């Protein structure tokens, strides 16, 4: 019956999204009545892969090779090949190894992982348990974004169900494989999505990123080898184990395997999460989301979250939604958080808000990021207040180039990218604002 998905967290307003045209991998329980329940997931073959791999004692290299074949790339935004990352974990190690799931998604416009823990928490748990078995991790944490309390509870309930059913805990399926998984609360800091900041936060410290290398695979939680993956990455694993790496790769295009969740928001008729095959044309995705609202024109798209470059309509209209497709078109896939802007959007004001976000969220460790993001924000604010000068545009570009690549973590680059791309593609709008002291778009 209920062939609908919703992206909302409360009983009062639920928006429905037609499932037609989607390829459900990580949200496959959405076709069922009670998507988050253990019984639902088991009915769809859930936990069978974990049980098979563990009871048949399938060897780690065999599992890792399937993950490599699948072409699964990290869904947290960086797109690092998951199979390759797994192969970095030390095989023989006398001590606790850890597994961490990154459900911090704090980037504006990103809301896919919350739907996974809300509608299909067991597939995530199974994916993590398979990873733990493969990598020899004894303890796992799922670090969940601070503002989503209701979803946190759904995940806690699923954990309890899985423990009760013998999918988590000591000596699983009568073997010597044991795995404990815990939920950890984030506390509303965007930077804690960066994997090493997240690790510091799990340890009970300020979420300030560490230098990489060493990568978490050699120095992670409490200094122990740790594998960090995004929620959607782990949740893809049971499907890959069931159907084989090749089948997953075949869902997508070369270099981008699988289905991928896209969070579509902004000026569309039907915002929400859409799970579609990698390589789907942008136009099809936009059509699924109901097209631009109120019959207006498309102006620009931020395809992968604010840390990816903005694209004018002309650049994205013929692009495909996959790693290579978007990078050829001048941006990147990021976490698949697509923010759509119609022709009434003032790019200058939009950039002001984005730059405030990065300024506010900088952890303050590196001078270029801490000071640079503040300067960028103040200059754009000055422009918006009608006090901008023409030189400001070059100054902004220069400042951003000096943040990029000179910091401990990628937040510095993430902050510079919008500034550079907004000015590059919408320079006349910025110039108009400076000359007239008001927006070319809304006249205010």
Partner 1 sequence: MLIQAHIQAHQHVPGGLMPLLHAIQDDIGYVPDAVYPDIAKALALSVAEVHGVVTFYHHFRTHPIGRHVLQICRAESCQAMGCGKLEAELKSRLGVDYHQTTQDGQFTLLPVYCLGNCGCSPSVMLDDEVYGRMDTEKVSELIDEVCHG
Q: Where on the chain is the footprint of ligand SF4 (CB under 6 A)?
A: 191, 209, 362-366, 369-370, 407-409, 411-412
Q: Is 302 helix (H, G, I), strand (E, B) or coil?
A: strand
Kindly give, in sequence order, each residue whose CB lies less than 8 Å from that of residue 189, ignoring residues fewer than 6 positions away: 106, 146, 197, 201, 207, 361, 363
Element (H, E) at 44: none
- Edge-first strand order for the sheet with 98-103 is 180-185, 139-144, 98-103, 226-230
The answer to whether residue 223 forms part of the interface with partner 1 (CB under 8 A) is no
Q: In the range 335-354, which residues lie near ligand NAI by CB under 6 A?
A: 335
CB of 327 to partner 1, least distance (A): 22
Binding mask 398-417 for ligand FMN (x = CB under 6 A): -----------xxx--x---
Q: Which of 40, 123, 230, 235 binds ligand FMN (CB under 6 A)?
A: 230
Residues 158, 159, 164, CA angle at the centre, nearest 5°? 95
DSSP 12: S
Query: How far is Cα 129 from Cα 133, in angstroms, rounded to an integer?
Result: 6
354, interface contact from ligand SF4, ligand FMN, ligand NAI, none, CB < 5-8 Å by kind = none
Token pair belonging to 221: 């939680």
Kindly give, in sequence order, each residue whose CB lies less than 8 Å from that of residue 27, ignoring residues fewer than 6 positions away: 5, 35, 115, 116, 119, 120, 261, 273, 275
93 vs 173 by CB, closer to ligand NAI: 93
C-alpha separations of 419 from 12, 355, 376, 381 in Å? 38, 8, 8, 13
Q: Which of 264, 414, 419, 423 binds ligand NAI (CB under 6 A)?
A: 414
The answer to whether residue 420 forms part of the interface with ligand FMN (CB under 6 A) is no
The answer to whether residue 102 forms part of the interface with ligand FMN (CB under 6 A) is yes
Listed residue (329, 399, 322) closest to 358, CA to CA = 399
Q: Which residue is nearest to ligand SF4 (CB)?
A: 369
110 vs 421 by CB, closer to ligand FMN: 110
Q: Which of 35, 46, 76, 271 binds ligand NAI (CB under 6 A)?
A: 76
Q: Is 10 helix (H, G, I), strand (E, B) or coil?
A: coil
CB contact at 8 A, 259 and 252: yes
Q: In the range 179-218, which residues lie near ligand FMN by CB under 6 A?
A: 191, 193-195
32 vs 200 by CB, closer to ligand SF4: 200
CB of 423 to ligand NAI, least distance (A): 20
Question: Which residues in this chain contact ligand FMN in the complex, by CB under 6 A?
Answer: 74-78, 80, 102, 104-106, 191, 193-195, 228-230, 233, 409-411, 414
Question: Which residues in this chain contact ligand NAI in the complex, by CB under 6 A?
Answer: 74, 76-78, 80, 85, 88, 105-107, 110, 193-195, 212, 215-217, 228, 305, 307, 334-335, 409-410, 414
């Amino acid at each position: 019956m209920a062939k609908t998905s919703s992206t909302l967290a409360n009983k009062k307003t639920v928006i429905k999204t037609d499932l037609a045209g989607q390829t459900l991998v990580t949200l496959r329980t959405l076709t069922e009545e009670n998507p988050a329940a253990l019984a639902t997931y088991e009915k769809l073959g859930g936990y069978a892969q974990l049980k098979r791999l563990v009871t048949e004692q399938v060897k780690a290299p065999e599992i890792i090779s399937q993950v490599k074949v699948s072409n699964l790339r990290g869904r947290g935004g960086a797109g690092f090949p998951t199979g390759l990352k797994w192969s970095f974990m030390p095989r023989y190690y006398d001590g606790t190894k850890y597994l961490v799931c990154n459900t911090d998604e704090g980037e504006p416009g990103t809301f896919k992982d919350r739907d996974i823990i809300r509608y299909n928490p067991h597939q995530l748990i199974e994916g993590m348990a398979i990873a733990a078995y493969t990598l020899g991790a004894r303890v796992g944490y799922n670090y969940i974004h601070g503002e989503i309390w209701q979803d946190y509870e759904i995940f806690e309930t699923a954990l309890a169900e899985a423990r009760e059913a013998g999918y988590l805990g000591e000596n699983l399926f009568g073997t010597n494989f044991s795995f404990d998984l815990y939920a950890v609360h984030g506390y509303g800091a965007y930077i804690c999505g960066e994997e090493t900041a997240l690790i510091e936060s799990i340890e009970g410290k300020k979420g300030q990123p560490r230098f990489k290398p060493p990568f978490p695979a050699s120095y992670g939680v409490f200094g122990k080898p740790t594998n960090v993956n995004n929620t959607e990455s782990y949740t893809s694993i049971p499907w890959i184990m069931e159907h084989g790496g090749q089948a997953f790769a075949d869902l997508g295009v070369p270099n981008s395997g699988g289905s991928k969740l896209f969070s579509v928001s902004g000026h569309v008729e039907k915002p929400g999460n859409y799970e579609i095959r990698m390589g789907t044309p942008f136009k099809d995705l936009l059509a699924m989301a109901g097209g631009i609202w109120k019959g207006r024109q498309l102006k620009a798209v931020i395809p992968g979250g604010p840390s990816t470059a903005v694209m004018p309509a002309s650049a994205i209209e013929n692009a495909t939604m996959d790693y290579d497709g978007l990078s050829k078109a001048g941006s990147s896939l990021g976490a698949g958080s697509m923010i759509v802007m119609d022709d009434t959007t003032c790019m200058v004001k939009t950039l002001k808000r984005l730059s405030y976000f990065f300024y506010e969220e900088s952890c303050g460790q590196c001078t270029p990021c801490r000071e640079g993001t503040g300067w960028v924000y103040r200059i754009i604010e000055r422009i918006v207040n009608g006090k901008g000068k023409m030189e400001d545009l070059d100054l902004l570009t220069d400042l951003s180039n000096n943040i990029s690549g000179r910091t401990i973590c990628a937040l510095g680059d993430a902050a510079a990218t919008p500034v550079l791309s907004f000015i590059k593609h919408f320079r006349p709008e910025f110039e108009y604002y400076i000359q007239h002291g008001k927006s070319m778009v809304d006249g205010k």
